[in-house]
Every structure is written in C-alpha cells, then in structure tokens.
Amino acid sequence: MTFRIGLLVFPDITQLDATGPYEVFIKFPRAEVRLIWKSLEPVKAGGGMLLTPDTAFADCPQLDLICVPGGAGMNPLLNDEETLNFVRAQAAGAKYVTSVCTGSLVLGAAGLLKGKRATCHWMSAHMLEAFGAIPVAERVVRDGNIITGGGITAGIDFALAVAAEILGEDTARAIQLGLEYDPQPPFDSGSPARADSALVERARSAAAARQRDREAAVELAANRALES
C-alpha cells in the first residue's frame, strides 16, 4: 500500500529543511513523496535554488504524513489562511503531522500544537509558546502523532526517526548507512549551548530584522486564533 508523504514548499524556504528529509523519505518502500504548494509554479528557495512543486493544494490527495519545513519565507504563512486551511485539513486525516525548523510555527498557527511538546530552530523556539505549545530543546520531539525537528540539519535526524517509527529501526539504520550520515562537524558550535557567546550574539544581531518580522507575524497569528 502506498504511503503518501507531502512536503510543503514555498518562496524563501530553507531548502535543506525540505531536501534533507526528502532524501530520507524517498528511500521508504512504497512511498510516494510530493512537493506541495498553491500552484505548480517553481518557487525560489533562500539562496536562489528553484524547487518545483508537483502537487497543488487543490489537487492533493489525503496524505499519510504532512511535513512543513521552515525558512524566512514561512513568516507570511503564519497568517495565510489558504495555507493554514490546507495544513489543518490534511492534519485531520494524516497519520503523522510533522515539521522541520520553523515549520513548527506554521503548525502552531494552524492550531495544531496546543498543549503539545515541540521543537524549532533555537532562535525562534520561544515563539512556540504563543500558540500554546511547550518548547523543547531537542533535535527531534514527538508528542502523539506530531513529530517536530529542530533547526535545518536536524531534518535528517527527524526523518530517520520517522523512518524508525514507520518502518522499524533496522530499516532506518540501513537508510542512514546508505546516506553515509555520519556527522563529524569540524567545529563544536552548532548549538547556542556550546557555541561561543559572542558568536551567538553576532548570529542574533544578523537575524534581528527577520526575527522582528517573525515576532510580529506570530503575535498577529496568535491574536487571530484567540478571536476565532
């Protein structure tokens, strides 16, 4: 039986949020992996890579797993009713509702994370609280049928955890081996808990404008949810 997986793509997405899990998901036996957006027009990821959706919202069948990646372009999605309605409708019938990086904020804006443990990119994790979620500083967090991955590179960890859940640990290990996923980073600075504090502050400063926009979009989305 076909297992339908759908990854949302959108303008200014962080492509690795989607392509990392995609590389794992296409190894699932009998999987059908779709890239989904409002139309089939190519979308430009952050940095310029073009991603071509193969399924439009209106033509998407019920998914077994929906995944919402993140990136700067998810800010507008927090108050985009067309996207939020699509995510809600799919989540109602999906076996697994998932995200990578700041995609969890979109799940929150869709009303899917109230009282749920979830993770996000470290710089935006506190914003989950506006949607009634419980932020957890882990690479992969599961709460019921909701599975969220941390920032960007955690998408591969997330997808392998999903593989173990659906296919069993042996198959997940085989996929990991096939991908030669054996991270040995040259620097121990991939987490704010371990990176030099001055480096963390520089990262925050560089992202300040985007984060202000995101805070405003989160506040608006949370207020809209309270009023509805």
Q: Residues 102-112: what's their mean pLDDT?
A: 98
- Rounded Cα distance between 151 and 39, Å, is 27
- Rounded Cα distance between 1 and 204, Å, is 46
Q: Which two tokens stand for residue 140?
A: 């992969």
Question: Would you tell me how many other CB atoms lie within 10 Å of the CB of residue 140?
Answer: 20
pLDDT for 224 equals: 86
pLDDT for 1 equals: 86
The model's confidence at residue 121, banded by pLDDT at 50, 70 and 90, is very high
The model's confidence at residue 122, banded by pLDDT at 50, 70 and 90, is very high
pLDDT for 206 equals: 97
Distance (Å) of CA 90 to CA 54, 81, 145, 228: 17, 14, 13, 20
Q: Supply the residues annotated as catalytic.
A: 101
Domains belonging to the chain, first-starting first, are: 3-227 (3.40.50.880)
> For residue range 13-59, what is the model confidence (pLDDT) as tens digits?
999 999 999 999 999 999 999 999 999 999 999 999 999 999 999 99
For tokens 């955690």, what's the residue?
A: 154
- Rounded Cα distance between 227 and 96, Å, is 28
Residue 84 has pLDDT above 90, yes or no: yes
Reported pTM: 0.97
Q: Which of 170, 177, 111 is nearest to 146 (CA)?
A: 111
Helix/strand/coil for 210? helix
HSE, side-chain direction, 13 A CA sphere, residue 70: 27
Q: What angle do CA 92, 228, 127 make, to 5 degrees?
A: 75
Residue 226 has pLDDT above 80, yes or no: no
pLDDT for 227 equals: 76
pLDDT for 225 equals: 79
CA max distance for the chain: 52
Beta strands in 70-183 (DSSP E): 96-100, 117-118, 134-135, 140-143, 146-149
